[in-house]
């Protein structure tokens, strides 16, 4: 089958999907659950807010199932709604099936994934969009074990749909069930064990990091494995497997736990170097626990002043599910601060200010947060550090986990740079930075949701795993720091370019998706894909997808381009710099095994 990117599928799908947003209100859907299900909520007895639903086995499987189903009924097609939920399971065994919709975060509360056993499915499918999984964004599952009765776990996601720290006791598939077109588009699996086989099916691109698999089958455009036990051998482009034996430096995302006395903590895993496999399969993970008393438990309605006062008092932030309108920058200045979002918590820039500013200090965590432009122009949504610095954080780097940016889609807005990294040694682990290509009426258009650059990296020794940046109007990735590394990059050029002159600089048509600045002497990247689909004009071109200095220390391994323009004109003229065949005037792909010092190998 010829793979079909969501660009081709969305055009017909969005018109059908958008009216569903808000079609069922949270109140009406959840009110329809039986009274026994409502009691499973516990009326916020945990202190974690009304949209963190905490379950324990004594509540009964039927009541829990009804409550979970009610959330899914609200969230299944609620792509641009404001409802947010975390479904949290205390240690024990549950005979339930969990369908995971938009803005739904399923998490176990044990020390080990095997402390919470779901004897059922934890499923992402795409029947809400006729089997098209390429819009299955903004959801997550973590820290539990899954025992599917039929032996098959299905997780058919696109961007911003991570699975972390999960034990699948069976096989796993990454594409939707029939009937339908059955495409999915870009996922992330980390610190997880799949006892059986992972089947990628029509999944178009994927990063697996620090996992253990019984086996893997299937490939499409770009499958990347870093520090994975049981990964297939390196074979790009036939099949397109990029396999890196060890993960150079990483720590895992912090997670919420509860002890037998009912006290909550956040566990922060320790830094690992040159690692393979999970943190937990051979025993308790290394790291530190922070009691909930060390956090300000943020709830929608908290002002920027309230959150900054908590940070100034030395508190961490646990950002519970909801949408937060932030009228002034939130400032993290203390080393080791944890900002942990639950349920795809969303921070909106309402007055054109940076949403979150992290000082040039060590060991900060920002995790599980969606940053959204809610004003006409926000220069930077998230900033780490303040200008170039010689200060190193080798022993305790700042890390960004499951951090997303959205410009347009839910509401009109604009941004200059979504994420700016000025500090050194920062780890970026699963970022999706998205200038929306579809959304609610009045929220998308070349001048309606303008955004220049997804991520600007000024710091040195910055490492990115699973970097997805889409539809920005200038360089989508601009990397100015030295000694940087990227493991898996996924990109789409802007769809809505109105004219070639609107998307050009000097004599150059378009902008490279991934630009390494001319002064950089050392930069490495593995497993990169950049795609084009121009839907407003037939003859839009970009001269190249990747642009790098021709120097020995800048090396790209396993890179590709795809054109999805159907029968129309336009495309990508070179893969990297002035090297690589064009993909244009219809569907086409081009693969290159490596590029260094001006020479490409195909």
Which residues are part of the catalytic machinery? 492
Tell whether omega for the bond before 334 is within 30 degrees of 0, i.e. cis: no
Q: How many residues does the chain have?
A: 602
Question: For residue 329, which phi and psi values (nearest 5 degrees)?
Answer: -60, 140
Alpha-helical regions (H) of 185-315: 304-312
Distance of alpha carbon 541 from alpha carbon 572, whole angstroms: 6
Q: What angle do CA 47, 49, 53 make, to 5 degrees?
A: 95
Residue pointed to by tokens 């720091």: 481
Three-class SS of 121-177: CEEECCHHHCCCECCCCCEEEEEEEECCCCCEEEECCCCCCCEEEEEECCEEECCCC
348 three-class SS:
strand
Rg for the chain, CA atoms, rounded: 22
The closest of 551, 557, 548, 550 to 591, measured between CA atoms, is: 557
Instruction: Say how many CA atoms lie within 13 Å of 434 toward its Cβ.
Output: 23
The closest of 358, 297, 306, 344 to 327, measured between CA atoms, is: 306
Distance of alpha carbon 70 from alpha carbon 22, whole angstroms: 14
* C-beta of residue 518 within 8 angstroms of C-beta of residue 549: yes
**Bridge-partner residues for 152, per DSSP?**
171
Residue 474: count other Cβ atoms within 10 Å of its Cβ. Answer: 18
């Amino acid at each position: 089958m010829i793979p079909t990117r969501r660009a081709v599928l969305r055009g017909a799908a969005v018109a059908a999907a958008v009216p569903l947003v808000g079609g069922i209100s949270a109140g009406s859907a959840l009110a329809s659950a039986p009274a026994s299900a409502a009691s499973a909520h516990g009326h916020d007895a945990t202190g974690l807010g009304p949209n963190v639903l905490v379950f324990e086995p004594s509540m009964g499987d039927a009541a829990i199932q009804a409550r979970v189903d009610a959330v899914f009924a609200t969230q299944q097609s609620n792509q641009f709604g404001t409802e947010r939920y975390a479904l949290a399971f205390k240690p024990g065994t549950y005979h339930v099936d969990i369908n995971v919709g938009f803005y739904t975060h399923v998490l176990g509360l044990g020390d080990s994934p095997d402390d919470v056993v779901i004897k059922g499915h934890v499923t992402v499918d795409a029947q809400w969009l006729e089997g098209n999984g390429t819009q299955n964004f903004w959801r997550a599952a973590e820290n539990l074990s899954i025992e599917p009765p039929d032996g098959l776990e299905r997780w058919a996601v696109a961007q911003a749909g991570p699975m972390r720290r999960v034990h699948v006791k069976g096989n796993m598939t990454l594409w939707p069930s029939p009937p339908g077109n059955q495409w999915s588009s870009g996922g992330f699996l980390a610190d997880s064990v799949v006892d059986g086989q992972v089947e990628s099916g029509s999944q178009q691109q994927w990063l697996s990091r620090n996992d253990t698999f019984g086996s893997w089958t299937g490939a499409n455009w770009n499958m990347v494995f870093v520090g994975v036990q049981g990964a297939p051998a390196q074979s790009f482009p036939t099949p397109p497997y990029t396999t890196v034996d060890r993960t150079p430096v990483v720590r895992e995302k912090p997670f919420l736990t509860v002890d037998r006395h009912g006290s909550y903590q956040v566990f922060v895993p320790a830094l690992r170097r040159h690692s393979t496999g999970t943190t937990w399969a051979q025993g308790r993970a290394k790291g530190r626990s922070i009691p909930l008393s060390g956090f300000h438990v943020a709830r929608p309605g908290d002002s920027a002043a309230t959150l900054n006062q908590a940070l100034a008092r030395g508190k961490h932030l646990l950002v519970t599910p909801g949408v937060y309108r932030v009228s002034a920058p939130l400032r993290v200045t203390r080393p080791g601060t944890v900002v942990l979002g639950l349920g795809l918590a969303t921070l909106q820039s309402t007055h054109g200010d940076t949403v979150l500013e992290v000082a040039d200090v060590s060991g900060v965590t920002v995790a599980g947060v969606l940053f959204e432009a809610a004003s006409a122009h926000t220069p930077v949504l998230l900033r780490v550090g303040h200008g170039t610095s010689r200060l190193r954080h080798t022993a305790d780097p700042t890390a960004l986990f499951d951090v997303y940016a959205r410009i347009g889609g839910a509401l009109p807005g604009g941004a200059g740079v979504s994420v700016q990294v000025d500090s050194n040694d920062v780890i970026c682990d699963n970022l999706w930075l998205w200038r929306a290509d579809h959304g609610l009426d009045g929220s998308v258009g070349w001048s309606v949701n303008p955004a220049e650059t997804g991520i600007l990296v000024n710091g040195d020794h910055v490492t990115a795993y699973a970097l997805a940046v889409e539809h920005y109007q200038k360089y989508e990735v601009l990397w100015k720091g030295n000694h940087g590394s990227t493991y898996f990059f996924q990109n789409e050029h802007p769809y809505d370019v109105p004219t070639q002159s609107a998307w050009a600089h000097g004599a150059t048509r378009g902008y490279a998706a991934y630009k390494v600045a001319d002064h950089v002497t050392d930069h490495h990247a593995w497993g990169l894909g950049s795609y084009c689909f121009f839907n407003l004009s037939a003859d839009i071109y970009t001269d190249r997808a990747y642009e790098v200095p021709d120097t020995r220390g800048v090396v790209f391994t396993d890179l590709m381009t795809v054109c999805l323009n159907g029968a129309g004109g336009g495309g990508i003229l070179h893969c990297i710099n002035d090297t690589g065949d064009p993909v244009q005037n219809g569907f086409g792909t081009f693969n290159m095994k490596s590029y260094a010092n001006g020479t490409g190998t195909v």
